[in-house]
A and B are shown apart, each in its own frame.
Chain A
Amino acid sequence: ELKVEQNPLFLSMQEGKNYTIYCNYSTTSDRLYWYRQDPGKSLESLFVLLSNGAVKQEGRLMASLDTKARLSTLHITAAVHDLSATYFCAVGGSQGNLIFGKGTKLSVKP
């Protein structure tokens, strides 16, 4: 059974600081996703990572994938308040579905 562990679950950061969210998964998958969710909203797709060593960057967020270690990271650089949200990683299942981590609730404080 594919399981996804995400940590930390809660993250309080100061503006301008850097931090990393980790996503470990238990069995092989060919797809890893990162989503952002604002309160009361649906999911906003951030990154899709498909191969070992994949690295994608968008603004202050950078995601990477190590399929051998079954680990993905979401790195936040110089955080700003607008990044406050819940971030989910999700791993592609064999039937096209996604298995989600528990999410990381990020709060960026001035």
Chain B
Amino acid sequence: SAVISQKPSRDICQRGTSLTIQCQVDSQVTMMFWYRQQPGQSLTLIATANQGSEATYESGFVIDKFPISRPNLTFSTLTVSNMSPEDSSIYLCSVYTGMNTEAFFGQGTRLTVV
């Protein structure tokens, strides 16, 4: 199993600013993922962050808006840049520890942009 510590748990930010979300895992994992959940919606994958390579972004998400770092096998950050109210969402990090196993999620970061 994997225990994920994500922070901050929530934040209220001014438009035009940036917020960096941290995700710490208690074990080494190859694959880490960042998801966004807009209000009342399902989860959408933003990007896959593998250590030692550039993050891979899904359609509709770009590196300039959501830069990701993955400095080692237990840690990743997602930055939400130049925020607007439309970025108000829950952001979740997730890890997948291998074939045919459970996917684990952090507690989420509830972001409100005013």
Which residues of A does B touch, CB under 8 Å? 30-31, 33, 40-43, 45, 48, 50, 88, 90, 92, 95-103
A102 touches B105 (CB 8 A): no
Number of interface residues of B (CB under 8 A): 24
- Apart from A96-B33, A99-B45, list 18 A-B contacts with CB within 8 A: A30-B99, A31-B100, A41-B107, A42-B107, A43-B105, A45-B102, A45-B103, A45-B104, A50-B100, A88-B42, A88-B43, A92-B103, A96-B48, A96-B103, A97-B45, A98-B45, A98-B103, A100-B42
A97 touches B48 (CB 8 A): yes
B105 touches A95 (CB 8 A): no
B43 touches A100 (CB 8 A): yes
Q: Is the interface of B mostly helix, strand, loop or mixed?
A: strand
- Contacts of A100 on B, CB cut-off 8 Å? 42-44
- Contacts of B107 on A, CB cut-off 8 Å? 41-42
Q: Which 7 A-B residue pairs are closest in the complex by CB-CB distance?
A: A96-B96, A96-B31, A42-B108, A100-B42, A100-B43, A43-B105, A42-B107
Min CB gap A99→B, angstroms: 8
Instruction: Report the separation of the CA atoms of residues A30 and B100 in the bound assembly, to the nearest whole angstrom.
Output: 7
